[in-house]
Amino acid sequence: MNVLLILDHAPDYREAFLRELGKYVDLTVAAQPCRPDGLYPPDERAGYEYHDLPSKRVLGLYWQAELAEMLCCKDWDVICCDLNLRHLNRIYLFLVNRASRKTWIWRGHIFGRNDSWPVQWVRKCLLKNSGGCLAYSEPIAESVINCFDVKAYSFNNTQVRVEDFRAGFFDNHAELRLLFVGRNQLRKKLERLIELAKRRGEIFLRLIGPGMDSVKIPAELLDSGRVEIFGRTTGKDLNEHFDWCDMVVSPGDVGLMVMSSAQHGKGIVIDNDSHHGPEYWLAKEAGQSFIPFEEKDEVDRLIDHVLENRWKLKQLGSQLQEVAKQKYTIEYMAGAHYKAFMEAACRGGVAGGRRRA
């Protein structure tokens, strides 16, 4: 089965998924270059064909001129495309290629922050006339079904393979060790963690990711070692940091860090007033802590509770990992894509992965 997968980007944390999906189908991936948007490509791509397609950008809208050629260069059995309404030529190419609509699957977050009726009408037109939808999470898939009466699957977005899960490591110490892994962005609200470390002497904090050297941290916290910063760190180099911490914290928006916490068997505390990526749903399912990080009393109550009940740290990590192992893996994610591809291909006249004459 020849599949064209059109993504916004295909950075390093997508490589394991793309290689796994390449075991199921003859996969070609088309995406924007990573580095102009602050992302990192993998050191090597393998198991699929890849094409960088630059975009022209005007007033927040995108146009990938080379995408039309990609659609014509092969007889695709299935086209799977990120649904991003800012990419105007994706919409245009879907509309003008009527013959491909039954085997065209929209993929991604689906719902953005703009839910005005004209935008919802466009989403409805695209989804209702397509071969189906692959959503980042189960709540998104349910919303697609309820709002648009369209076949939708959740692939439970993750970057963790089955073999990547590690038993949570906990040792004895008096302090509470907190970890944040991600990019330094305003929406992450890292200043809340710095303020927490200033207020409470038992808090030790590590911040890991691009741009951490620009976080404003009082000299006494750095000199005492109670706050440490590290640059971009990936793969097995993260193991020592997750083994060091007692708990992972997200004082602002959260995304794939939930999956990383599960991978290493550590519980996570998430701000309940931020706009999260769909990955937050794993934390909800696994009974993790959601608190208003802007309310100091609420934060202090949580810290006091876990300091007095350290056994709960291990329990939260185990709960998160057990749920993730069941259905938040690269293998599950690839299988969900393949199931949707097969159903769409059958509707389009493909049997056993080959198009019927």
What's the DSSP call for residue 136?
S
Helix (H) or strand (E) holding 346: helix 330-347
So what's the pLDDT on residue 209?
96
pLDDT in tens, 99-144: 999 999 999 999 987 888 899 999 999 999 999 999 999 999 999 9
Q: Beta strand 289-291 with 350-351: parallel, antiparallel or unpaired? A: unpaired
Angle, in degrees to the nearest 10, between helices 117-128 and 88-96: 40
Q: Decide if pLDDT at 176 tops 90.
A: yes
For residue 8, give the 3-state DSSP assignment. Answer: strand
How far does the chain reach from its first CA to its final CA, in angstroms?
Answer: 14
Amino acid at 97: N
Give me the DSSP letters along 61-124: EEE-TTHHHHHHSS--SEEEEE--TTBHHHHHHHHH-GGGGGGEEEEE----S---HHHHHHHH
The full set of domains in the chain, from first to last, is: 2-158+329-355 (3.40.50.2000), 162-326 (3.40.50.2000)
pLDDT in tens, 183-215: 999 999 999 999 999 999 999 999 999 999 999
Query: How is the beta sheet containing 133-135 ordered, strand by strand?
Result: 49-52, 26-32, 2-9, 78-82, 104-108, 133-135, 152-154
Q: Tell me the C-alpha distance between 291 and 302, whole Å.
A: 8
So what's the pLDDT on residue 357?
29
